[in-house]
Chains A and B, each alone.
Chain A
Amino acid sequence: MSDFIMPSMGADMDSGKLVKWKVKPGDRVKKGQVIAAVETSKAVLDVEVFEDGVVEELYVEEDTDVDVGTPLARIGDGSRVGKQEHEVAGKEETKPTTETKATPEKTPVKETAEAPAVSTTTEGHPEQAQARSQQPVPPKPPSTPAAAKLESEGRVPASPAARRKARETGIKLAELRGSGPSGAIVLRDLQGAQPTRPDIRPAAGFDRQQMRTAIAAAMSRAKREIPHYYLANTVDLHAAEQWLTDYNEHQPPENRLLLSALFMKATALALARYSELNGHYAEDGFTAATRVNLGMAVHLRGGGLVAPAIMDADTLTLPELMHQLHDLVRRARGGGLRVSEMAGGTATVTALGDRGVDTVYGVIYPPQVAMIGIGRAHRRPLAVDDGVAARLAVDITLAADHRVCDGHLGALFLNEIEQLLQQPEAL
């Protein structure tokens, strides 16, 4: 039995509103199944469960705001379906070690209630969330023994961020009701205590202001924490263009490939080889990823940006990759992106498209360590043999984290992409 907690949704989303349960107590669920929909500042996302089991209890009602790390449901073998949470809390009393674990400093409250800029620990692979979900972290209202005990000891359970904010604004924590795990006060609980601050959360969907705020937080963090270095390389697309024209000639529109698919595949293969650019940088330093989950910055019509990932992009054939690109763009704009896609990226590609610019230098999406920029492919004079030819070419750039690797490696990486694009038939 374990509590399923709200997984990380990416660097710029630390909370969301649970808008729809897609399961009910007693339902059998399989790993990867979508069990809920959560509305974030950027999009309505599908939340998948990380294990097989039976939904025994839903802790959170629909239309409730939840922080990353909040227990959402209990998944078990089905023997405790319908049992209420006081059962869980009661069980806790017999296990003093778990009670200790339920103090604010040990629960996900600490990690999740921080602003995106400093919460490095919860962002990352859904696997991390999954690992945490194995720990029993029962939700408890403030009146539970653990919380009451803490209060009686004069220390109101609250996240460090909430504590700091309360100090800065002069709000008394004791007068607030905590909504975090163990009834702890999290940053969100302080917002109600600030009448000067208008609530900008829309009733449904997401608005531009929130999207801007989320992007601002993630990008500020990137520029504050990550020492970027930048490289650019012009790639001759003559071979790629010819191969693509031949390929598409006999394909109906729905099966045609775009150059983007070739760029993504070449990038994914190069990332698989240069692991220093593929992974996450957290408090304990860089960890290379074992898979290439390639994020793709998708511009949303009407403004805004999301960067969902294509899982195992290096192993997909070009038609498979193209299919996933279609699917991802469609869902990014129409809804239905999954939390794992939003948080699971190991590196990201940004392309400003046909109407864009020659060269784009990206800002790294934390906790990732590399952003690959694809400029506008257009015809330009290139030296070919002894002469000059008008060739389709593109500028491919790299913004990489200097804490993890140096420009020499970045240059090898960009050259690898260039070489791969010279043999499109092998992609």
Chain B
Amino acid sequence: MNRDELRNAVLEELSGIAPDIDLVSFDDNANLQDEYDLDSMDTLNLAAAVHKRLGVNIPDQDYARMHCVAELLDYLEKRLNHPQS
């Protein structure tokens, strides 16, 4: 899965959690909490959706350090391309 496909998958899950977010103008570097008004349950739901869809179980401590979709995509790329690391 390349980065674009990965991004589409993540944004699709995100729009399931927050349907009002405009995906066309979505800013990957914007803070999900501050810019897109996601609360702790929304972000947890996103992690759960990513786990279900991509099979990547992001540990709580790693996840707590991610604040925008770009950071999430970086992490997912790394985990999917180098499963051992």
Chains A and B come from one and the same complex: yes
Query: Which residues B32-71 have CB closer than 8 A to chain A?
Result: 33-34, 37, 39-41, 44-45, 47-48, 50-52, 57-61, 63
Query: Which residues A243-282 have CB closer than 8 A to chain B?
Result: 245, 248-249, 251-254, 256, 258-260
Cα distance A151–B11 in the bound complex, in angstroms: 63
B37 close to A253 (CB less than 8 A): no
- Tell me the dominant secondary structure on chain B's binding face: helix
Query: Which residues A125-173 have CB closer than 8 A to chain B?
Result: none
Determine if B5 is an interface residue (Cβ-Cβ < 8 Å): no
B18 close to A301 (CB less than 8 A): yes
Total of A-B residue pairs, C-beta within 8 Å:
50
Determine if B20 is an interface residue (Cβ-Cβ < 8 Å): yes
A253 close to B18 (CB less than 8 A): no
Cα distance A301–B33 in the bound complex, in angstroms: 13
Contact of A326 among B19, B45, B51, B61 (CB under 8 A): B45
B39 close to A354 (CB less than 8 A): yes
B39 close to A249 (CB less than 8 A): no
Chain B residues, Cβ within 8 Å of A5 = none
A252 close to B20 (CB less than 8 A): no
> Given A301-B37, A302-B20, does the pair A254, B52 have CB atoms closer than 8 Å?
yes
B61 close to A253 (CB less than 8 A): no
> Given A326-B45, A355-B34, does the pair A253, B20 have CB atoms closer than 8 Å?
no
Cα distance A323–B57 in the bound complex, in angstroms: 19
Cα distance A245–B33 in the bound complex, in angstroms: 21
Cα distance A251–B57 in the bound complex, in angstroms: 9
A249 close to B51 (CB less than 8 A): no
A249, closest chain B residue (CB): B60
B57 close to A253 (CB less than 8 A): yes
Chain A residues, Cβ within 8 Å of B39 = 299, 353-355
Determine if A329 is an interface residue (Cβ-Cβ < 8 Å): yes
> Given A260-B40, A329-B41, A353-B39, does the pair A252, B51 have CB atoms closer than 8 Å?
yes
Contact of B44 among A258, A299, A302, A353 (CB under 8 A): A258
Which residues of A are at the interface with B, using a C-beta cutoff of 8 A?
Answer: 245, 248-249, 251-254, 256, 258-260, 299, 301-302, 325-326, 329, 353-355
A-B contacts, 28 listed (Cβ < 8 Å): A248-B60, A249-B59, A249-B60, A252-B57, A253-B44, A253-B51, A253-B57, A253-B60, A253-B63, A254-B48, A254-B51, A256-B44, A256-B47, A256-B60, A258-B40, A258-B41, A260-B40, A260-B41, A299-B39, A301-B19, A302-B20, A326-B41, A326-B45, A353-B40, A354-B39, A355-B33, A355-B34, A355-B39
Instruction: Using A245-B61, A252-B51 as known contacts, list a sample of 13 further A-B pairs with CB atoms less than 8 Å apart, ordered by residue number in A.
Output: A249-B59, A251-B60, A253-B44, A253-B58, A256-B44, A301-B18, A301-B37, A325-B41, A353-B39, A353-B40, A355-B33, A355-B37, A355-B39
